[in-house]
Amino acid sequence: MKRIVRSTRVFLFLCLFLGAAFWAGHSVDADAAIVSTSHQKYTYTEYKKDLKQLRKKYKEHCQVNTIGRSADDRNLYEVVLGNPEAKKHLVVIGNLHAREYMTTQLCMSQIEYYLKNYDKKINGEKVSKVLDKVAIHYVPSCNPDGTAISQFGFNAIRDKELRADLKRMPGSSTHWKANARGVDLNRNWDVAFRRAGRRGYAGFHGSRAASEPEVKALVKMINKTEKKGRIVGVVSYHSTGSILYGRCAGNATAKVAQTTTRMYRTAQSLTGYRLMPAESLSSAGGCSREYFLYKRKIPCITLEVGRGACPLSIREFPSIWQKNKDVVFREASLFD
């Protein structure tokens, strides 16, 4: 009889132990990071999968919208954090240049970090309180086609005509900056636009302003967002150099220049990045930052993350993350 009692006790203990281990394991899995930062080539497939998981896990505070399609028919996604009906909106764009795809990884990590801490405080401010008044609109990857080229070569482009044209263009696929049509998406905007360069890995502004589907999609998103409320600022992520563009030329209104200064000082206090001189509108023709500042009268800063040659080594990510993890939230909190 005593043996039976002892056996029963052992059995129950094992059940409790295994049950606790099972649920503990599931608790860890549930809290595990969705966005991986342990490898360099953060792919379009992985990006789509992560967006789906983030939307599912944080559906009350996160919207994922398709705002357009790239030249090679990949989705361009907008991720909205917080109250989409807020009166104020902050826009964040990454990966305009193909080989700078670590900026997508950074934006996605920021998105997850802010959502995970939605009911907590960052730098003493409640995340939910700020995002209820200032919605953040991310476009983490503005150039998914170019990224596929930089990561996997020209054969990553599925359209036969695009692929054939690309193989006739100058430049290494690994160091590709342009989109799948050989156009620099950061020089294709409708502000002091001028045609320059030739189709290839870098330098071609396009046949005309806003000729590219990716730029058209971003402008359409900006127009749609402005109908909901005021866009208080734009944060644009590039690489490399650990530098910051935040000065305005004389073309900016006093209000835009003043707010841009507040934005760059906030970013600089967190990152320590070196502030660059202002570019004249003529020298920066067709540039996205100048489009926002001078054409749309929206304050805008550009952060160039990292120090090495692009594509950046994954070894740089921990340092980039520590400097930039709070940047976008702190920028939003300026307008709370």
Strand partners, 94: 237
Query: Is the bond preceding 311 in cis, omega lying within 30 degrees of 0?
Result: yes
The predicted structure's pLDDT at residue 239: 97
Q: Look-up: residue for tokens 């150099």?
A: 241
pLDDT surpasses 90 at 281: no
Burial label for 65, CB within 10 Å (0-12, 13-18, 19+), is middle
Write phi, then psi, for 32 (nearest 5 degrees): -70, 150
Of 69-78, 213-222, 275-284, least confident by mean pLDDT is 275-284
The predicted structure's pLDDT at residue 15: 45
pTM: 0.91
Rounded CA separation 127/332 (Å): 10
For residue range 41-57, what is the model confidence (pLDDT) as tens digits?
999 999 999 999 999 99
Distance (Å) of CA 277 to CA 5, 191, 249, 306, 307:
81, 19, 9, 19, 19
pLDDT surpasses 50 at 13: no
Per-residue pLDDT, averaged over 253-258, amounts to 97
Angle at 120 between CA 116 and CA 126, to 5 degrees: 120
The predicted structure's pLDDT at residue 284: 78
Rounded CA separation 324/275 (Å): 15
Query: Do 90 and 137 meet the contact criterion of CB atoms below 8 Å apart?
Result: yes
Angle at 96 between CA 294 and CA 239, to 5 degrees: 100
DSSP 65-129: EEEEE-TTS-EEEEEEES-TT-SEEEEEEE-SSGGGTHHHHHHHHHHHHHHHTTTSEETTEEHHH
Residue 9: pLDDT band with limits 50, 70, 90: low
Query: Do 320 and 241 meet the contact criterion of CB atoms below 8 Å apart?
Result: no
Percent of the chain whose predicted confidence (pLDDT) is above 90: 88
For residue range 112-129, what is the model confidence (pLDDT) as tens digits?
999 999 999 999 999 999
The predicted structure's pLDDT at residue 279: 84
Which DSSP letter does residue 259 get?
Answer: H
